[in-house]
Chains A and B, each alone.
Chain A
Amino acid sequence: MARQHRTGASRGRTARIGAVSAVIGLVLAAATATAAAAGADLLPPLESAARATDPGFAGFSAARGQSFFDATHGGKWSCSSCHTRNPLQAGRHAATGRPIKPLAPAANPQRLSDPAKVDKWFRRNCRDVLERECSPAEKGDVITYLLSLQ
């Protein structure tokens, strides 16, 4: 009697775990899809801004974004000084040694998911690396590069 009861309870628990796992799977899938879409959503306004200053603008380029990301632009640092040349990996702050989580959304779904944060960090880090703000074309290239990494 007691054993039967335990077995029944155990079967019920297994079914519940299955259902919970399925729900968690769906939530994770939805979260991933949202994050990817959020990163891509940053591009259309940048594209409009790029076209406004350059009518011949022909679209963003992941390859150009990668070159830009790895270049020092005449200064001491590049983006990759802290984020490494493989943004799927964790980086390290070049001055303080503070660990930095991966920048590519494929490795860290929180990246590029909050437009205010993206603006904040482009503003600060472009001033650190290039001593000026980045243009919409440059930002779009870098975002396209980061979204291309899998």
Chain B
Amino acid sequence: MNRSKILLVGATLAAGITTPAALADQERFAMTHPTWNEECGSCHVAYPPQLLPAASWEALLGDLGNHFGSDASLDPATAAELLAYARMHASARTAAGEPTLRITRTRWFLHEHDEIGPATWQRPAIGSPANCAACHRGADSGDYSERRIKIPR
């Protein structure tokens, strides 16, 4: 490890900042962008931008008028601000072909939730895999760690 990496890791540990290195476990995300939290968190949890690659965010934020069956259109300035933020924090993992639009269809998500059966997803208090906060009680603050999971009956 070279000197600059040591300094980076040291600074990360000291400040608790979420850099790509700190996100290796994909459990905690810094939800610190007020526009992202507000605009992306009205109808669903504000999903961490780290969970999709840039191409996916570009496709999603470029077609907000037709957002999974709902009109989520924004004024152009706000949409541009969100896209810049998404690009800055997007996942570096890319897959061939069309960009994935649903976090719940990424290989990472499917792997992390492979023990959850269809009947669990359909419980009234959960409803859909998109409802992170049903089980991840810290989802609104970006905390998806094991200790904050409580699956409703």
| Chain A interfacial positions (CB closer than 8 Å to B) | 93, 95-98, 120, 123-125, 127-128
Q: Is the CB of B69 within 8 A of A98?
A: no
State which of B71, B73, B130 has its C-beta within 8 Å of the C-beta of A96: B130
Q: Which 10 A-B pairs have the closest CB atoms?
A: A127-B71, A97-B127, A124-B71, A96-B44, A97-B131, A93-B43, A98-B44, A128-B70, A96-B130, A128-B71
Known contacts A96-B127, A97-B134; decide if A124 and B70 are in contact (CB<8 Å): yes
Residues of the B chain whose Cβ atoms lie less than 8 Å from the Cβ of A123: 71, 73
* Min distance, Cβ B17 to any Cβ of chain A, angstroms: 28
CA A123 to CA B72, docked complex, whole Å: 9
CA A95 to CA B69, docked complex, whole Å: 9
* New contact pairs (6) apart from A96-B130, A97-B125, CB-CB < 8 Å: A95-B68, A95-B69, A97-B134, A98-B43, A120-B74, A123-B71
Q: Is the CB of A124 within 8 A of B72?
A: yes
Q: How large is the interface on B (under 10, 10 to 19, 20 to 34, 35 or more residues)?
A: 20 to 34
> Closest residue to A126 on the B side, CB-wise?
B71
Residues of the B chain whose Cβ atoms lie less than 8 Å from the Cβ of A95: 43, 68-70, 128
| Chain B interfacial positions (CB closer than 8 Å to A) | 42-45, 65, 68-75, 125-128, 130-131, 133-134
Residues of the A chain whose Cβ atoms lie less than 8 Å from the Cβ of B130: 96
Residues of the B chain whose Cβ atoms lie less than 8 Å from the Cβ of A125: 71
> Closest residue to B133 on the A side, CB-wise?
A98
CA A97 to CA B134, docked complex, whole Å: 9
* Min distance, Cβ A111 to any Cβ of chain B, angstroms: 13
Residues of the B chain whose Cβ atoms lie less than 8 Å from the Cβ of A98: 42-45, 131, 133
